[in-house]
Amino acid sequence: MLHSIPEQMQAVVVHGPKDYRLETVDVPSPGPGDLLMKVEAVGVCASDLKCWHGAAKFWGDDNRPTYVQTGIIPGHEFVGSVVAGDEAGLAQHGVALGDRVTCEQIVPCEECRYCRRGEYWMCAPHDMFGFRNFNGAMAQYVLVPTRARVHKISAELKAHHAAFVEPLSCALHAVERANIKFGDVVVVAGCGPIGLGLIAGARQKNPMTLVALDLDDNKLELGRRCGADVVLNISKVDAVAEIKKMTDGYGADVYLEGTGHPSAVGQGLNLLRKLGTYVEYSVFGSDVTVDWSIISDDKELDVLGAHLGPNCWPAAVKMLENGAVPVNDICTHQLGLADFQKALDLVADAGGSSVKVSILPNA
Ligand SMILES: [Zn+2]
Ligand SMILES: [Zn+2]
C-alpha cells in the first residue's frame, strides 16, 4: 500500500436526468484481481452531458431500454495511479503499485458472441465505467475490475492531458474505419474534442489534403494545429462548394462526422464524391432526416459507423506521449470535483471558449 487510503471519498452520483449530486460515499475496496486507482483527472464527455440532459440513448425510449443506472458515479475518461491491488490483479493488468494507468471505458464481459470473436467494443451487455455496472471516475478513487482493459501512460504528462487518451482513441478508431489513402481529400466536420482527435488521427495517415469544418474560428485554428491543411468556417463559406472547387468538381473522398449536429449529415453526403466514404462517430440528440437516395442511387457511398476506440489505445497513448496532439490548447478547463456542475455547463456552452473540460478529483 503506497499511502493510507481513506474509508470515504467525495463522488458525483447520478440520481436522474439533471439530478447529479456531490456525495460522500465509501471508497471501494478491491476484491481478488481488482485494482484501486486514485483518480488524477477525468474528462467530461459530450456523452456525460447528453446523459445529464436525459437523452433517450441513456434513459431509454420506445426503441431501447434504459442504459444508465441511477446511483452510478459518472466519468469514463480517466487516468490515475494504482494505489492498491493484489498480486493477481497487478499481474493481470501488467502494472505495479504507483503506476499511472488509464482504462478503456468499456468493461467487456468476455463471454458474449462479440467478446468471443474479439469484437469486445460491441460487447452485448455493454458494461461501461460511469454508466452501467462500474462506477466511473468523477470521484477520488475508482475500482478497476479484473475485466477492465488497462493501459499504462506516462506520468510525465499532465493528468488532464493524459485523460485525453479516451476521446483520442475513439477518434483513431473512426479514422481507421475510413481506410484513408494517400491521395485522398479528407474532410472532418467539427473541431470539438472528437473532431480534433479525428484531425490529429487523419494527419497520421497523411492524406493529400485534410480539411476541417467548424463554425468557430478559434476552434478552426485548433484544427489547424492538430494538422488540418485547410480550415473552412461554414458560417462564412459554403463548404460543399469549396470542397467541390478543391476537387475539380468531384467532391471529397472521405468525410468524418464528429459534430453530432443533424445538419452535418446532409452536408457530408453532399460534399462527398461518388463512391466516397462517410464515417459517423457522433451521438445525436434527435433524429436526422436526409435524402438516402444520395447514398444509393446518386453516389453509392460507403456509410460506416464507429463506436469507442477498440485496439487504438496504445496508438493514442503513443501520440500523446510523443506530443503529436496539441493537448495544451485542447484541454481548456480544469475544475475540482465540487465544481462538476460548472464543468457540465462549460461542455454545454457550445459557442463558448471551452474545448476539453476536465475534473481533477484530488487536486
Ligand atoms: Zn467520452
Ligand atoms: Zn461481451
Contacts of 108 (CB under 8 A, 6+ apart): 115, 120, 121, 123, 127, 147, 149
- Whether residues 217 and 71 share a domain: the answer is no
42 located within any domain: yes
Query: How confident is residue 267, by pLDDT bands cut at 50, 70 and 90?
Result: very high
* 175 and 154 inside one domain: no
Mark whether 238 and 113 lie in a shared domain.
no
DSSP 28-65: P---TT-EEEEEEEEEEPHHHHHHHHT-HHHH-BTTB-
User: Mean pLDDT across the stretch 67-76?
Assistant: 96
Q: Are residues 135 and 179 in the same domain?
A: no
Instruction: Kindly tell me if the per-residue pLDDT of 1 is higher than 70.
Output: no
- Residue 299 Cα to ligand 2 middle (Å): 36
Neighbouring residues of the ion ligand 2, judged by CB less than 5 Å: 108-109, 112, 115, 123
- Same domain flag for 269 and 336: no
- What is the Å distance from ligand 2's center to 121 Cα? 8
CA of 117 to the centre of ligand 2 (A): 9
> Which of 1-10, 66-75, 125-134, 310-319 is the least confident region?
1-10
Tell me the per-residue pLDDT of 204-236, one tens digit each, with 9 for 90 and over. Answer: 999 999 999 999 999 999 999 999 999 999 999
The answer as to whether 319 is a domain residue is no
- The whole-number average pLDDT for the span 251-260 is 97
More confident residue, 188 or 353: 188
Q: Within this chain, do residues 18 and 93 fall inside the same structural domain, yes or no?
A: yes
pLDDT tier for residue 284 given thresholds of 50, 70 and 90: confident
Closest Cα to residue 138, out of 3, 29, 14?
A: 14
Which three-class secondary structure state does DSSP give residue 231?
Answer: strand
Q: What is the mean pLDDT of residues 237-258?
A: 98
β-strands 133-134, 302-305 pairing: unpaired
Same domain, 268 and 339: no
Average pLDDT over residues 246-256: 98
Predicted local confidence at residue 275, as pLDDT: 98
Give the global pTM.
Answer: 0.96
Asked whether residue 230 is assigned to any structural domain, the reply reads yes
Residue at 267 is within a domain = yes
Q: Which ligand is nearest to the CA of 121?
A: 2
Same domain, 246 and 193: yes
20's enclosing H/E stretch is: strand 19-26
Question: What is the 232 CA–ligand 1 centroid distance (Å)?
Answer: 26
Same domain, 219 and 178: yes
154 with 178, same domain: the answer is no
Based on the structure, what is the number of domains in the chain? Answer: 2
CA distance 339 to 341: 5
On the CB side of 276, CA atoms within 13 Å amount to 26
| Contact present, 106 and 148 (Cβ < 8 Å) | no
Please give the residue range of the domain that contains residue 355.
8-164+325-359
What is the whole-number distance in angstroms between the Cα of residue 84 and the centre of ligand 2? 27
**pLDDT tens digits, residue range 39-58?**
999 999 999 999 999 988 89
Q: Is residue 207 part of a domain?
A: yes
Specify the CATH number for the domain of residue 220: 3.40.50.720
Tell me, yes or no, whether 345 lies in a domain.
Answer: yes
Q: What is the per-residue pLDDT across 297-345, written as a single tens digit (0 to 9) for each?
A: 999 999 999 999 999 999 999 999 999 999 999 999 999 999 999 999 9
Residue 76 lies in a domain: yes
Residue 158 lies in a domain: yes
Q: How many CB atoms lie under 10 A from the CB of residue 86? A: 14
Give the tens place of pLDDT for each residue, 140-179: 999 999 999 999 999 999 999 999 999 999 999 999 999 9
Q: Assign residue 116 the CATH number of its domain.
A: 3.90.180.10
Pair 37, 145 in one domain = yes
**Both 147 and 195 in a single domain?**
no
Residue pLDDT, tens place only, 191-204: 999 999 999 999 99
C-alpha grid cell, residue 345 = 455547463
The CA distance from 127 to 134, in Å, is 7
| Summary mean pLDDT of the chain | 96
Name the closest ligand to CA 168: 1
Helices (H), 17-164: 46-53, 56-59, 87-93, 113-116, 159-162
| Confidence (pLDDT) at 352 | 82
Ligand nearest to the CA of 127: 2
What is the predicted pLDDT for the residue at 2? 52
Has residue 93 got a pLDDT over 80?
yes
Task: Extract the C-alpha cell encoding 95.
Answer: 502494472
